[in-house]
Amino acid sequence: MSLPFTTEKQLAIAAVRRACHLTSSVFNKLVKNETLTKGDKSPVTVGDYAAQALISSMLNHAYPQDPIVGEEDATELRAESGSTLRERIVELTNEALTLDLQQGDYAEWGIGPGKAKTPEQLMDEIDRGNYGGGRTGRMWCIDPIDGTKGFLRGEQYAVCLALLVDAQVQVGVIGCPNLPADLSQPEGQKGCLFVAVRGQGAQQMSLMGANPTPLSMPPYDPSTFNFLESVEAAHTSHSTNDKISTLLEITRKPIRMDSQAKYGCLARGDAGAYMRMPAGVGYQEKIWDHAPGSLLVEESGGIVTDSRGTPLDFGLGRTLGVNHGVIATVKSAHSRLIDAVAKALSNEEGDTKSKA
């Protein structure tokens, strides 16, 4: 008898790998007018839309009953003003859908020569990601390009896919086309795939599946401990992280990196903790920014909570609701971090009051 979620894992790997191929080739050909600014001022490119259409299409063929929470929607593309962008997305998605089958691919997933779709079908595939989320049943979570700003800069980004059952992440796959296999060799081989299944561990491999290596986080070591944090100051408070770092007497500089590549680097031991302290009030973290990454870290021996130590709740809808930031670290460091966060925040509060 095969292990639980074996087919879902294979499908997720195949979908993420094909999407990484798509996004890498888009980057080389991307032109200025192929990026839109969304209502929340964040960028979205033809690569984000096409990768979501591709992944959603593969999920739809394999599991037509499963709902999908995907970051993007096709509203702007369906409008007359979106027609140029739409044509480009259709071209890119069909190019990726019709690539030859590789090892681990199945034609039943709607891929391979002759499997192109119409523009209307592809817009519908993107919009299958409009599910509102929830506490019960199966659902997939897609972030077709996480770290779009990193993607545009030619730096780190990740193609992210997770399967949740009753609001628990069961399968997580993260593809990082620009990430060095070994961070200490930045000019060495690039392109990493991180794969985790609940209860079955986590692995890193190349995008083609070569050199699968089990992941296990090293224990807390104050002499080498450091943080991973977002590049964008609007996404995380660098200054709060600095205060926490000082309280913990951390001497190594933080590693700034876009996207859930941070979870991958944490899981393989490149740093001690991923710290995401809110930069302002009111932002609700999106479930697709944390679902696969949190499982990856848990399956590598870590723990992921908000900054008060509360577990992340993936059952509240498309966001994590009122969770305050995110902290991911090895289990032996977690309570130290939570205590330092509380101290840093109360010092910040004290500073604000004394200034008033």
Q: Is the dihedral of CA 114, 118, 123, 127 positive or negative?
A: negative
Which of 327, 347, 339 minimizes the C-alpha distance to 272? 327
- Is residue 166 annotated as involved in ligand binding? no
The two counts, helices (H) then strands (E), for the chain are 10, 14
79 binds, among Mg ion, ligand PPS, none (CB under 5 to 8 A by kind): none
48 annotated active-site: yes
Position of tokens 């205590």? Answer: 339
User: Considering only residues 142-181, where is the footprint of ligand PPS by CB under 6 A?
Assistant: 143, 146-150
> Any contact of residue 322 with ligand PPS (CB under 6 A)?
no
State the nearest-atom distance from the C-beta of 36 to Mg ion, in Å. 11
Q: For residues 61-120, which are near Mg ion according to CB under 5 A? A: 71
146 is in an annotated binding site: yes
**143 annotated to a ligand binding site:** yes
Give the C-alpha separation, 75 to 48, whole Å: 14
Burial of 78 (0-12, 13-18, 19+ CB in 10 A): middle
| Among 23, 45, 93, 148, the one annotated catalytic | 148
Directed axis angle between helix 83-97 and helix 119-127, to 10°? 90
x/- mask, ligand PPS, residues 23-62, rule CB under 6 A, reads -------------------x--------------------
Choose, by CB under 6 A, the member of 52, 60, 94, 230 that binds ligand PPS.
Answer: 230
Placement of tokens 């593969």 in the chain: 58
The residue within the footprint of ligand PPS, chosen from 18, 117, 235, 334 (CB under 6 A), is 235
3-class SS at 346? helix
Among 73, 127, 143, 258, binds Mg ion (CB under 5 A): 143
Rounded Cα distance between 266 and 293, Å, is 10
Q: Is 34 annotated in some ligand binding site?
A: no
CA distance 253 to 21: 33
294 touches ligand PPS by CB under 6 A: no
**Among residues 248 and 266, whose Cβ is nearest to Mg ion?**
266
Q: Look up residue 74 and give its amino acid.
A: A
Triad 240, 242, 245: Cα angle to 5°: 110
Q: Which residues are annotated as a binding site?
A: 71, 143, 145-146, 289
The residues that touch Mg ion, with contacts defined as CB under 5 A, are: 42, 71, 143, 145-146, 148, 289
Q: Which residues are annotated as a binding site for Mg(2+)?
A: 71, 143, 145-146, 289
Footprint of ligand PPS (CB under 6 A) = 42, 71, 143, 146-150, 230-232, 234-235, 258-259, 279, 283, 286, 289
